[in-house]
Amino acid sequence: MEDEATTLAHAIGARVRHERTTRGWTLDQLSAAAGVSRRMLVNVEQGEANPSVGTLLRLAESLGLGLPALVEPPRTQTTRITRNGDGAVLWRGASGGSGVLVSVTQHPDVIELWEWRLEPGERHASEAHRDGTRELLHVHEGRLTVEVEGATLDLNTGDSLAFHGDLPHAYATTGSSPTRFSLAVYEPRVGEPRRTEHHRA
């Protein structure tokens, strides 16, 4: 698992560095555009950091890319299979939970498919995404609490939820058992300037 995380970190770092240098940007320019410290950016490009999903989202958006572009090589084929266990683990909880990006479409209108597992007591918070972002989730196991701009929604196994991802939101376990859920994120017009002042987590 550690080797997989290291391989992913190096792949992300190489892609960020490639996209930055292709644009003729300095480290300081990308740091300022993304709101990420120069030290963190250097660590990311060298594959030495374990950046949060929020940091990756800020970098991707500043470079005019979707998150998938940082974790996968460009592709032209019309189909792609992601085998079980081959998804990109982009979040790990303190108790062993994970957020895995298992499938994506290409920009400009990006759809991401995630598999999440939250251990008891774990919570993942996100600031508002790009204007127009929508999210769909389905609880496969356990109980899940979703917070959307201050509202708290309790879901049980088999429940599903559609909500605006361009509002602050969070996912948390409810109860003493792990929670598993799938999440689809639709993000329109990736690469275009943002129309709101929202920032991601």
For residue 196, what pLDDT band results from cuts at 50, 70 and 90? very low
Q: Tell me whether domains 2-71 and 88-187 share a fold.
A: no
**Separation between Cα atoms, residue 140 and residue 25, nearest integer Å:** 44
pLDDT value of position 1: 52
Neighbouring-strand partners of residue 147:
152, 170
CB–CB of 33/65 below 8 Å?
Answer: no
Per the prediction, the chain carries an average pLDDT of: 85
The mean pLDDT value for 156-161 works out to: 97
Non-local (6+) Cβ contacts of 128 within 8 A are 165, 166, 167, 168, 169, 196, 198, 199, 200
Most confident among 62-71, 80-89, 156-165 (mean pLDDT): 156-165
For residue 76, what pLDDT band results from cuts at 50, 70 and 90? low
pLDDT above 70 covers a percentage of the chain that reads 90
Most confident among 14-23, 24-33, 78-87, 165-174 (mean pLDDT): 165-174
Res. 163: pLDDT tops 80:
yes
CATH number of 2-71: 1.10.260.40
Non-local (6+) Cβ contacts of 2 within 8 A are none
For residue 123, what pLDDT band results from cuts at 50, 70 and 90? very high
Domain residue limits, the chain: 2-71, 88-187
pLDDT value of position 198: 40
The mean pLDDT value for 9-17 works out to: 86
Res. 66: pLDDT tops 80:
no
* Residue with the larger pLDDT of the pair 67 and 30: 30
The mean pLDDT value for 132-154 works out to: 95
pLDDT value of position 170: 96
pLDDT value of position 14: 86
Mapping DSSP onto H, E and C, the string for the chain reads CHHHHHHHHHHHHHHHHHHHHHCCCCHHHHHHHHCCCHHHHHHHHCCCCCCCHHHHHHHHHHCCCCHHHHHCCCCCCCCCCCCCCCCEEEEECCCCCEEEEEEECCCCCEEEEEEEEECCCCEEEECCCCCCCEEEEEEEECCEEEEECCEEEEECCCCEEEEECCCCEEEEECCCCCEEEEEEEEECCCCCCCCCCCCCC
pLDDT in tens, 34-52: 888 988 888 888 888 778 8
Top-level class of domain 88-187:
mainly beta
